[in-house]
Amino acid sequence: MALVNEHFLKLPGSYLFSDIAKKINSFKVTHPKAQLIRLGIGDVTRPLPKACIEAMHRAVDDMAEAATFHGYGPEQGYDFLIDAIIRHDFAPRGISLSPSEVFISDGAKSDLGNIGELLRWDNSMAITDPVYPVYVDSNIMCGRSGVFDEQGKWSNVTYLPCTAENGFVPELPKHRIDLIYLCYPNNPTGTTLTREQLKQWVDYALANDTLLIFDSAYEAYISEDDVPHSIYEIRGAKKVAIEIRSFSKTAGFTGVRCGYTVVPKELTAANFEGKRIPLNPLWNRRQCTKFNGTSYITQRGAEAVYTPEGQAQIRETIAYYMENARIMRESLSAAGFQVYGGVNAPYVWVQAPDGMSSWKFFDKLLYEAHVVTTPGIGFGPSGEGYVRLTAFGEREDCEEAMRRIRR
């Protein structure tokens, strides 16, 4: 008899966005003529950059000729894309990486969910709260999170609240932690850490032998000079941090799927005997066993992001989304709401009025304004009393949604 992994049974009944979909479907049954505006799930709406489309067309043509056909590619990714990433994303910021430290994937979500396989199940862990659900759910699946308590928290997870009271800057843990997830610019709050604030986390990790998982999927949206784009801008970070990035929000690749993970060769963890084990070859071994590589066509499209044309086109798209964020931020503030984020990230974090719960505020906006948001409680206990709005919609929808909410 096969036995199930019982840790899966501890997972919430469904993923956050599945719950939202059920509520939307119920609403549509009772309001069949309502025109919904979706500002909930962070999916992009602008077309792929022309440079990427043209590169992918050329790659398809390559596949049509025996001389240029590509079958299985390297599990780590093609050199042409890895070299472009190092040359454009890191070298201009004074960060030196070797090609074998960069691993191309089918998106940040997969790597964020899989990276924990390198570590024992009984490592202690911490998350900022609220947080992207994948960090917690993937650790539940392997048994690292413990049990769910009456306060809506997992017993083996240290929660680091990010609230209006602390300016959405989490305090350093008061005790030693093995593994900490950080996401900046932050999803869901849209807030950031300054260079000095991020340095404190790196210093903590160096002092406590802590591994940092740094999710920088939204770094292309940073507009302020004192906000670091990479954790490796901080001295010593290569010894303690894995950085994970995505082309999804940078270049509209949510439906194409491409991202990458940086595992520095300096980064180590310990075994029971105290021997230091490099994580880079372990991740390489994991990828070679469980991943057949991102498609050649996709990687050619991602490479085109780094051409002059591609860079100009993604800047135009990002500017479009960030103008949406500005419209939402200013409109909601003028309507009397407390609003955060939306400056260095495409997310706006809105406090519910009059002590209203997240789901009640979600329902109010859905049924009265016909606007879909994401309830903050779905991102963790500190998200209660907030909703998240995404700037990834069409301009007309964004403006109309603000008119409806202000009514």
What digits encode the pLDDT tens for the residues 358-377? 999 999 999 999 999 999 99
Q: pLDDT of 18-54, one tens digit each? A: 889 899 999 999 999 999 999 998 899 999 999 999 9
The model's confidence at residue 168, banded by pLDDT at 50, 70 and 90, is: very high
Give mean pLDDT, residues 225-252.
Answer: 98
Cα 358 to Cα 360: distance, rounded to the nearest angstrom = 6
Residue 160, strand partner residues: 128
Domain assignment present for 4: no
Total domains present in the chain: 2
The DSSP code for 217 is T
Q: pLDDT of 92-115, one tens digit each? A: 999 999 999 999 999 999 999 999
Q: Are residues 29 and 103 in the same domain?
A: no
The domain in which residue 207 lies consists of 54-308
Domain boundary among 290, 308, 326: 308
Q: pLDDT of 283-334, one tens digit each? A: 999 999 999 999 999 999 999 999 999 999 999 999 999 999 999 999 999 9
Q: Tell me the pTM.
A: 0.96
Residue 181, strand partner residues: 127, 213
Q: Are residues 59 and 127 in the same domain?
A: yes
CATH number assigned to the domain comprising residue 184 = 3.40.640.10
Cα 273 to Cα 265: distance, rounded to the nearest angstrom = 21
Distance set, CA 45 to CA 49, 75, 265 (Å): 12, 30, 37
Domain boundary among 273, 308, 343: 308
Q: Are residues 256 and 395 in the same domain?
A: no
Evaluate whether 302 touches 251 at the Cβ level (below 8 Å): yes
Q: Which two tokens stand for residue 31?
A: 């309001």
Give mean pLDDT, residues 188-203.
Answer: 98
Domain assignment present for 352: yes
Q: pLDDT of 111-128, one tens digit each? A: 999 999 999 999 999 999
Work out the percent of the chain whose per-residue pLDDT is above 90. Answer: 95
Strands (E), 58-114: 102-105
Domain assignment present for 291: yes
Q: Are residues 302 and 202 in the same domain?
A: yes
Domain assignment present for 2: no
Q: Choose among 271, 211, 277: nearest CA to 238.
A: 211
Q: Are residues 242 and 316 in the same domain?
A: no
Cα 377 to Cα 381: distance, rounded to the nearest angstrom = 6
Domain assignment present for 1: no
Cα 266 to Cα 239: distance, rounded to the nearest angstrom = 5
Give mean pLDDT, residues 54-65.
Answer: 98
Cα 74 to Cα 300: distance, rounded to the nearest angstrom = 14
**Alpha-carbon dihedral sign for residues 233, 234, 236, 240:** negative
Cα 237 to Cα 7: distance, rounded to the nearest angstrom = 32
Q: Are residues 34 and 134 in the same domain?
A: no
Q: Which residue has the tokens 């602390």?
A: 166
Domain assignment present for 387: yes
The least confident of 19-23, 175-179, 209-213, 326-330 is 19-23
What is the rounded average pLDDT for all residues in the chain? 96
Cα 151 to Cα 381: distance, rounded to the nearest angstrom = 8
The model's confidence at residue 216, banded by pLDDT at 50, 70 and 90, is: very high
Q: Are residues 364 and 352 in the same domain?
A: yes
Long-range contact set of residues 373-378: C-beta below 8 Å, sequence gap at least 24: 373/39, 373/40, 374/16, 374/17, 374/20, 374/40, 374/41, 374/188, 375/20, 376/130, 376/188, 376/349, 377/152, 378/16, 378/19, 378/20, 378/133
Sheet bearing 125-129, strands edge to edge: 102-105, 259-262, 241-246, 211-215, 179-183, 125-129, 157-161
**DSSP H stretches of helix in 228-356:** 248-251, 279-290, 296-304, 308-334
| Nearby residues of 375 by Cβ (< 8 Å), 6 or more positions away | 20, 358, 359, 361, 362, 383, 387
